Amino acid sequence: MKKITATLFCLCSLSFAVEYDPIKGQMLSLSCASCHGTDGKSTTITPYIAGMGKTTLYKTLLEYKNGTKTGTMMQKHVKGFSDEELEQVSYYFSKVKR
């Protein structure tokens, strides 16, 4: 029984994560680069996001989207993307070598 529960739990958890689509992730990342630098490698006050943990970045973007995190700019951008798209773009930057 324990085993079945564990298996079910795993399946449920996985269903929250979208499968990484590198083409979509890359496409969505392109406009980020204008402020955050090519592939997120900022050299300025704008945060460096290359190689950031996927979950951390995704969580941050969701917080901007639902208003629990405030800033001057990001809330304007994240509201233009579905949660799935934010997750894809988080995957993309997490895979960039720092």
Partner 1 sequence: MMNRRNFNKLLVGSVALSFTACNSITSVSLPKNKKRVVVVGGGFGGATAAKYLKKFSPETEVILIEQNKEYYTCPFGNTVIAGMNDIEYIKHDYKTLESKYKIVVMHEKVKKVDGATSSVILENGQIIPFTKAVVSPGIDFKYEKGYVEGSEMYAPHAYKAGPQTSLLRKQLEDMKDGGTYVMVAPPNPFRCPPGPYERISLVAHYLKNNKPNSKIVILDQKKKFSKQGLFTEGWEKLYGDMIEWRSVDFGGKVLKVDPENKIVTTDEEDLKADVLNYIPSQKAGKLAFDSGLTQGDWCPVNTKTFESRLVKNVHVIGDASIATKMPKSGFSANSQAKIAALQIVRLLAKMPIVNPPKLANTCYSLLSPTYGISVAAVYEAHEDKIIKVKGSGGLSPMAASDSYRMQEAEYAVGWYKNQMADIFL
SS percent in the chain: helix, strand, coil, step 5: 60, 0, 40
Binding segment (CB under 8 A) for partner 1, from list 3-11, 12-20, 54-62, 74-82: 74-82
* Binder of partner 1 out of 18, 77, 83, 95 (CB under 8 A): 77
Please report whether residue 44 would count as binding partner 1 according to CB under 8 A.
yes
Burial-class residue 97 by CB neighbours within 10 Å (0-12, 13-18, 19+).
Answer: exposed
* Binder of partner 1 out of 52, 64, 85, 87 (CB under 8 A): 85
User: Phi-psi bin for 67: left (phi > 0), alpha (psi -120 to 50), beta?
Assistant: left
The binding site for partner 1 (CB under 8 A) comprises 23-24, 26-28, 30-31, 33-38, 42-46, 72-73, 75-77, 79-81, 85
